[in-house]
């Protein structure tokens, strides 16, 4: 069946197909951001209430994500995998990847860890966006089998059924030792440093600084400082020195649970 030829009177503001064919998806997106500005681009229901994003806000999110990818070292032509249900962040990551010169590769959220590994490995993904803790766990199960993968980025940070974020912090011995020496704080070793009130206050200040960049839901509400560095010998790190998150959650379960008993939501 022949397709009708577009005409100037077909729809106001719609360009002929020949002109559209000469433009990339990022170019078309930024044109829409420019001309539609404060018009609603996306709607999402949060806790029963529809939240709106304008085209200007949409563009800001895509730009921020794109700069983030570039800052991570992504180069033109490299692949970025996205494992998530439909949500605004999926679109931000997809368009940011294209605007940064990369290639986005979608993965069904219902895929098994092995299926995700095959797709992420086959496309040689350098960055992998995942939706939440459930999808992050899949990525972590197969991370060691993906030599090209450098970064895993999580959309929704709160997971494991917890009401807020907490953190286990490992001190950089060289940096903290230098701080202690320049501030006349006596110490014997890293474990000793981790117990010092001055060091705990220092870390608290740094955590508060980081929290300023995040929404209430994404902020770290409490933390504990580990008294030793993570190691592969203790099975806390993989042979390639990647953190074994699930193992740590099990090993330090009492420490983690204590933070949730202490902090009120």
Per-residue pLDDT of 186-212, as tens digits, reads: 999 999 999 999 999 999 999 999 888
- Tell me: pLDDT of 21 over 70: no
Q: For 17-154, CATH number?
A: 3.40.50.980
Strand 49-54 with 40-46, pairing: antiparallel
pLDDT at 5: 41
- Tell me: pLDDT of 47 over 70: no
pLDDT at 3: 41
Q: Where in the chain is the domain with CATH 3.40.50.980?
A: 17-154
Q: Confirm if 191 and 228 have CB atoms less than 8 A apart.
A: yes
Q: What percent of the chain has pLDDT over 90?
A: 59
- Tell me: pLDDT of 10 over 60: no
Chain-wide mean pLDDT for the chain?
86
What are the DSSP E strand ranges found in 74-212?
79-83, 103-107, 125-130, 151-154, 165-170
pLDDT at 20: 59
Q: In whole angstroms, how far apart are CA 237 and each of 190, 201, 240, 245, 258? A: 19, 27, 8, 9, 23
pLDDT at 232: 86
Q: CA 252, CA 265: separation in Å to the nearest integer?
A: 22
Helical H runs in 213-252?
Answer: 245-251
Q: CA 28, CA 59: separation in Å to the nearest integer?
A: 12
Tell me the average pLDDT across 130-144. 89
- φ/ψ (deg, to 5) at 12: -60, 130
191, containing H or E segment:
helix 190-195
């Amino acid at each position: 069946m022949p397709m009708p030829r577009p005409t100037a009177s077909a729809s106001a503001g719609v360009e002929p197909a020949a002109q559209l064919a000469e433009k990339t998806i990022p170019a078309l997106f930024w044109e829409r951001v420019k001309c539609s500005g404060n018009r609603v681009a996306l709607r999402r229901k949060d806790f029963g209430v529809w939240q709106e994003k304008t085209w200007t806000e949409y563009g800001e999110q895509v730009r921020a994500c794109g700069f983030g990818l570039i800052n991570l070292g992504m180069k033109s032509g490299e692949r970025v995998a996205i494992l998530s249900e439909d949500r605004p962040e999926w679109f931000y990551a997809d368009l940011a990847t294209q605007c940064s010169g990369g290639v986005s590769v979608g993965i069904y959220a219902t895929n098994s860890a092995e299926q995700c590994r095959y797709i992420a490995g086959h496309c040689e993904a350098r960055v992998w966006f995942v939706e939440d803790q459930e999808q992050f766990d899949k990525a972590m199960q197969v991370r060691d089998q993906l030599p090209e993968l450098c970064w895993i980025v999580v959309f929704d940070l709160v997971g494991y059924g917890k009401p807020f974020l907490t953190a286990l912090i490992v001190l950089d011995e060289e940096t903290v030792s230098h701080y202690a020496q320049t501030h006349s704080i006596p110490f014997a070793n890293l474990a000793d440093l981790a117990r010092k009130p001055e060091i705990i206050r220092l870390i608290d200040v740094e955590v508060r600084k980081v929290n300023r960049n995040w929404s209430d839901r994404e902020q770290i509400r409490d933390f504990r400082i580990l008294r030793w560095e993570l190691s592969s010998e203790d099975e806390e790190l993989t042979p390639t020195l990647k953190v074994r998150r699930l193992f740590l959650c099990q090993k330090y379960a009492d420490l983690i649970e204590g933070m949730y008993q202490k902090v009120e939501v």
